[in-house]
């Protein structure tokens, strides 16, 4: 998230991403409480899914030109992370509910609500400002003959091409 915040120029976007980063500390605290309630030790583990999403987001941002196009890529990248987190919290809530752990369910639901709210805020910023500006930037650059105005299409890997 700090890398995405650094790429944000619009005050509303920067503020929203910063606020959500701060909320993440509350999420971690709730998760610590969940682990304690389950009698487990909380420990950080690298997530290959998030690593992949962040890597793809960096590539998308790196292949973008123009402040608004970059910010549209930042929003898309942040929302990909939010959507991943939303699915994971949904899974955890379902499992905790199945185990009859309503104490845990309530904590996880609070985190899920925060993630959904962050996603909604990103959508609102994108739809109210950023996407229109990015479209104008893209159209202006295309009409002036600039080579690169939006992310390059990704090539299919040999594995996906063979499928």
Burial of 78 (0-12, 13-18, 19+ CB in 10 A): buried
Query: Going residue by residue through the chain (163 aa), what tens digit of pLDDT does each one get?
Result: 888 888 888 889 999 999 999 999 999 999 999 999 999 999 888 999 999 999 999 999 998 888 888 999 999 999 999 999 999 999 999 999 999 999 999 999 999 999 999 999 999 999 988 877 777 765 666 666 555 444 443 333 333 333 3
Spatial neighbors of 23 by CB under 8 A, at least 6 apart, are: 114, 118
- Taking the complete model, does pTM exceed 0.85, yes or no? no
Residues in the chain: 163
Torsion of CA 56, 61, 65, 70, to 10 degrees: 130
Angle, helix 102-125 to helix 11-37, in steps of 10 degrees: 170
Domain ranges in the chain are 2-144
pLDDT of amino acid 138: 59
CA distances from residue 150 to 10, 28, 47, 127, 141 in whole angstroms, order as listed = 19, 35, 28, 18, 9
How far apart, in Å, are the Cα atoms of 72 and each of 85, 126, 130, 135?
Answer: 20, 7, 6, 10
CA–CA separation, 158 and 141 (whole Å): 32
Selection from 73, 80, 62, 60 nearest residue 134 by Cα: 73
Query: Could you give the CA distance from residue 24 to residue 26 in angstroms, rounded to a whole number?
Result: 5
Q: Which CATH number fits domain 2-144: 2.40.50.140, 1.10.10.10, 3.60.60.10, 1.20.1260.10?
A: 1.20.1260.10
């Amino acid at each position: 998230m700090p890398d995405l915040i650094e790429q944000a120029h619009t005050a509303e976007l920067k503020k929203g991403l910063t606020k959500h980063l701060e909320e993440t500390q509350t999420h971690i605290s709730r998760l610590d409480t969940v682990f304690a309630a389950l009698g487990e030790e909380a420990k950080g583990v690298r997530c290959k899914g998030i690593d992949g999403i962040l890597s793809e987001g960096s590539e998308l941002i790196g292949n973008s030109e123009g402040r608004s196009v970059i910010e549209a890529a930042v929003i898309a990248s942040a929302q990909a992370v939010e959507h991943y987190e939303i699915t994971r919290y949904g899974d955890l809530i379902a499992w905790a509910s199945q185990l009859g752990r309503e104490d845990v369910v309530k904590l996880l639901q609070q985190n899920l609500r925060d993630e959904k709210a962050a996603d909604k805020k990103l959508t609102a910023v994108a739809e109210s400002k950023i996407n229109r500006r990015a479209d104008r930037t893209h159209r202006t650059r295309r009409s002036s003959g600039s080579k690169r105005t939006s992310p390059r299409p990704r090539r299919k890997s040999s594995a996906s091409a063979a499928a």
